[in-house]
Chains A and B, each alone.
Chain A
Amino acid sequence: MPLFTFATPHLKGIEMSQTLINAMADLEESALVKEVKHLQEQGVPALEIIQKLQEGMNIVGKRYEEKEYYLSELIMSAEIFKEAAAAIGGDLSAGEAPSHATFVMGTIYGDIHDIGKNIVTTVMSCNGFKVIDLGVDVPTADYIKAIQEHKPQVVGISCLLTTAFDGMKECIASIEAAGLRKDLKILIGGGPCDQTTADYVGADAYCKTAQDAVEFSKKLMGIQ
């Protein structure tokens, strides 16, 4: 009898988990679905499976940083992740999944663009952040209410119009005036933004890509 059949159930679990992590990292959708089913049949808890998927997402993020992956792969990985999480009953938005921190995000008032915002919220949630998505055309009062209610560590404000810069500036000033800036970092991003914009509106950082938001937030929380 070949030696490998003597592997303990624990070791089998480890192998399967590694298969799951690799499938997530390599964007192997069918292999991932198959592996999730195996783990479920073995009685592995949903949150444990999600943690393994997040480990795969960490590898996706690294490959993105190393320019092996691009936005297309970030989006595909997030799609696979969301579907797998839904299949095993883990609702990311309900806060059931373990999270590093809370991230509140919206597109500033006067601007209804949502593509960039949606990419960032999806990628952040797949990387273990609890995401509160405020939508588009978000007034300052809604940011303040969300900060008071959810006590996020990071807030993201997005825009695609240069005419929205003044809205971002007013919003950040109001958050500060409300005494909510102390333990909070504010990120901005979107097509026309750059470091000049971040300086003008008073943001803590400008994120060129969705992965920048992940990396900034992880660094802030001391996560490797």
Chain B
Amino acid sequence: MKSNQELYQERLHRMTQAVTLGKPDRVPVMAWIDAWAATYRNGSMAKLSNNLLYSNKLILETARDFPQLDMIEVGAAIPRAVAAATLSTVKVAGKELPEGSLWQVEELDHIQEADYDRILKIGWKAYKKEYYKNVLGWGGYDTFKLILGGIIAGRRCKKAGFPELSGAFPNIPLDPLAGGRGMAKFMTDLYRMPDKLKEVMDIMVVDIIEENKGIIKQAKPFSAFLGVARGSSNFLSPKLWNKFVWPYVVQITNAMVESGTFVNLHFDGEWNRDIERFRELPKGKCIWASDSVTSVYKLKEVLGDHMCIKGDVPPALLALGTPDDVYNYCTKLIKDIGPTGFILAPGCTTPYNTRVENFKAMIAAATGQ
């Protein structure tokens, strides 16, 4: 029987082969398990949403029941931190929502036009600190607890033999601005004050890169998670996208790769129009994680020889389908998108109401067991 450390290395090797477009012994299978851990382990959603180490415990207990998983996306559920990254507030079970409820992000218009000037004046790092304290009620001690909790959770994952996919979380400037300003207002700002926004984003990206380079240097994660929520191809016209999205995707990706980590491009939504542009990113260094809205077949056709594709088992299928539906979908994915440069995984996170048999069917498609 292999030790946890042997399994850790075996899983890491299989994933590395997939990302570097090598030849893994089989298509890796992984999942982002957060809220589903509470469902599967019959745990408290309120506690999971508010206690990083409790979430880590449930996630690892869940993963241990599916030892064929090659990785988990992150070792803990941290809804407040995820929302904070986009300057949004979040309602969680046990506080604003009843026990058993999934957390839900609120995008309110906290950022006013004057805040753009404030960012230009004091820089993104200082502005973010102010915003966290004044708007989100998130102080220095909360950040310290988050970092410490993340380190402990990461060590526990390693001890349990499950590598984490991502350990640094940069985002392009557009996402926090859109999250804090409110999407509709922000999109009109893109029209009404494009030059000022460009200036603000250019300031922000410097701090974003610097902060994440520091994290990568310390934590040495497998990959940096670069999620883009409001900048997908069907959200923005090419004129806006080329100015406010793509330059920052390139700049951040290159900086993360130079720091010695892979980049997990977690791009929800529809990106079909711009898939070819991703060939501009370094070969064999990125993972294109699709939530099933972007065509996985177009991704394979255009990027198959350039970067690894991850996904894209649809959330509705995991929640509503039968095990046969899931198995057939996944088997076809492996055949058509694999066997090299492909990681089988749910599109985005594993839905809270995923049927256990469906999760097993997804794994069985990859392992043949």
Contacts and interface: CB of A to CB of B under 8 A. Distances in A.
A125 interface: no
A148 interface: no
Contacts of A122: 184
Interface string A63-74: 000010111110
B315 A162 contact: yes
B91 interface: yes
Nearest to A196: B316
Nearest to A199: B320
Given A70-B236, A119-B184, A163 B273 contact: no
Given A112-B91, A194-B314, A197-B316, A161 B236 contact: no
A143 interface: no
B5 interface: no
B338 interface: no
B352 interface: yes
Contacts of B316: 162, 165, 192-194, 196-197, 200
Nearest to B233: A70
B215 interface: no
Interface stretch (B25-33, B55-63, B67-75, B101-109): B101-109
Nearest to A192: B315
A178 B317 CA distance: 30
Contacts of B101: 110
A163 B38 CA distance: 14
Nearest to A193: B316
B237 interface: yes
B218 interface: no
Given A69-B237, A71-B236, A72-B236, A165 B191 contact: no
Contacts of A161: 102, 104, 352
A208 to B, nearest CB: 8
Given A79-B184, A196-B316, A163 B237 contact: no
Nearest to B107: A115
B81 interface: no
Interface string B282-319: 00000000000000000000000000000000111111
A31 interface: no
Contacts of A111: 104
B234 to A, nearest CB: 6
A75 interface: yes
Given A71-B235, A165-B319, A165-B320, A27 B191 contact: yes
| Interface of B (DSSP majority class) | mixed
Contacts of B192: 29
B240 interface: yes
A82 B159 CA distance: 57
Given A161-B352, A196-B320, A115 B183 contact: yes
Contacts of A73: 237
A119 B184 CA distance: 8
A76 interface: yes
Given A72-B237, A192-B351, A118 B184 contact: yes
Interface in B147-183: 183
Contacts of B352: 161-163
Contacts of A192: 314-316, 319, 351
B353 interface: yes
A72 B106 contact: no
B134 interface: no
B206 interface: no
B319 A162 contact: yes
Interface string A42-78: 0000000000000000000000000101111101100
B3 interface: no
A113 interface: yes
A162 B104 contact: no
Contact of B188 (A79, A165, A191): A79
Nearest to B104: A112
A209 interface: yes
A93 to B, nearest CB: 16
Contacts of A162: 315-316, 318-320, 351-353
B104 A113 contact: yes
Interface in A133-158: none
Interface string B213-243: 0000000000000000000011111001000
B240 A72 contact: yes
A161 B35 CA distance: 12
Contact of A76 (B188, B235, B315, B353): B188
Contacts of B105: 113
Given A163-B352, A163-B353, A194-B314, A70 B320 contact: no
Contacts of B260: none
B187 interface: yes
A191 B235 CA distance: 13
Given A119-B184, A162-B318, A162-B319, 4 more contacts: A75-B183, A162-B352, A162-B353, A193-B316
Interface of B: 91, 101-102, 104-107, 183-184, 187-188, 190-192, 233-237, 240, 268, 273, 314-321, 351-353
8 contacts: A70-B233, A72-B240, A76-B188, A119-B184, A122-B184, A194-B316, A196-B317, A196-B320
Q: Which 10 A-B pairs have the closest CB atoms?
A: A162-B351, A162-B319, A192-B315, A75-B187, A70-B237, A71-B235, A196-B316, A72-B236, A79-B188, A197-B316
